[in-house]
Amino acid sequence: MKNKPTLATLADDLAHGRTSARKLVDECIARIADPAGEGIRAFMHVDREAAIAAAEAMDHLRAAKAAPSPYAGIPVSIKDLFDIKGQVTRAGSRALEDSAPAEADATAVARLRRAGFVVIGRTNMTEFAYSGIGINPHYGTPKSAWQRSVGHVPGGSSSGAAVSIADGMAYGALGTDTGGSCRIPAAYNGIVGFKPTQRRVPLDGGVPLSFTLDSFGPLANSVGCCAVLDAVLADEPVRPLQPRSIKGMRLAVPTTVALDELEDEVARTFERALETLSHQGALIERIAVPEFLDVGVMNAKGGFAASESYAWHRYLLTSKGDVYDPRVSSRILRGESLSAADYIDLLNARRSLIARTTTRLAPYDALVMPTTAITPPRIADLADDKAFAKANLLSLRNCTLINMIDGCAISLPAHREGEAPVGLMLAASGGSDRRIFELAAGMEDVIRV
């Protein structure tokens, strides 16, 4: 994004001696420690000494022309859901506080380290990643970058990840996305968040929410940043990203479900972005996607998240259920009533859903829709459980559609300076990740004009 450091600009500064890894780390640590900022709520743990040591090592390697990548020394944050060797993975919960420290890095963390990225610390999250709002009653809730004095939700579940980027406390963040947990907080903080095709990034070393739907992805300041981080996470070569020309883009706007109950600000910003794209030559078609109606039916009893999280949590709930956030435990416990037959029905229904949507979306380069149906609500307004449940549903709904069809998707900021944050989501069937990045790179600087 304009006026914000990107991995490309930082790599160039490092290569030409205009900055150093140590300086970048020191600056991020200072921002995290600023009592006027959100660092105390955005981070669960800051690995100060290890980050400084890693930064100095990368500076020495760069001086010896042996840096492992152009991005070596750039600070990144890690969601508290991931194992980091020697640290306890709490997943935003009190229930795991007395767990043994991890014996190894999660695969995704290890790949970031291998490229030379410096782990600055662990970021806050919704307990066990089970909501799209970002509220954490145990460790505090970091405020969205928008109207901070008012106090809006950061989006979840990768809440601290998004705030760490928005506030310059890291330049890349590792998050997870089961129903929008990279894209929602990106939308609510005016940054970019990417959900990869699930099979591309291993899930080893992460606390699961739903092993069927979980995806590990990046949040950052630009499409290019997310493309670099995604390639590293997927253990693929980092290739130059060629933005696609907007002229001739074939974009489909799903009129089924995705445009229901849009907040006025979201609807206005979304339509303005579509008009801009159309004027630039994009071919935009509004289409019915009746398959999206199936998603609500599939999730009516809790879906994959309830059944699979209950399987993982059932013994922990027995021994430590009293320290869970009730809004989280109640959702997990829905899985207790789902039978094996219900679960098999879900698997079969999803298999059919993926096949049918893949056929329907084949003529288009991407689906385009609002990332969320609402702008970030005020934290104070969600004390009531009914208000929380409605806001959570409207935050998650559009993103969940893409997880259910095994797709990939990116959220771009679509609002103008001073406006409420609104994300524009580009999505496609699984395996279309590179195309989504190229399309997004072609429009990210255009849709906010």
> Do residues 133 and 126 make contact, with C-beta atoms less than 8 angstroms apart?
yes
The rounded distance, in Å, linking the Cα atoms of 409 and 36 is: 34
According to DSSP, the residues that pair with 79 across neighbouring strands are 123
> What is the DSSP annotation of 20-46?
-HHHHHHHHHHHHH-TTSSHHHHEEEE
Give the separation between CA 384 and CA 153, rounded to whole angstroms. Answer: 14
Distance between CA atoms of residues 80 and 83, nearest Å: 8
Pairing of strands 366-370, 408-413: unpaired
Question: Cα(154)–Cα(391) distance, rounded to whole angstroms?
Answer: 12
Rg, Å, the chain Cα set: 20
At 424, give phi and psi (nearest 5°).
-110, 125
- Which residue numbers are catalytic? 79, 157, 181
124 contacts: CB under 8 Å, gap ≥ 6:
41, 42, 43, 44, 80, 92, 136, 139, 140, 141, 142, 159, 160
Pairing of strands 366-370, 250-254: parallel
What is the four-CA torsion angle of 158, 159, 163, 169, rounded to 10 degrees? -60
Residue keyed to tokens 């209950």: 310
Whole-number Å distance between alpha carbons of 71 and 86: 24
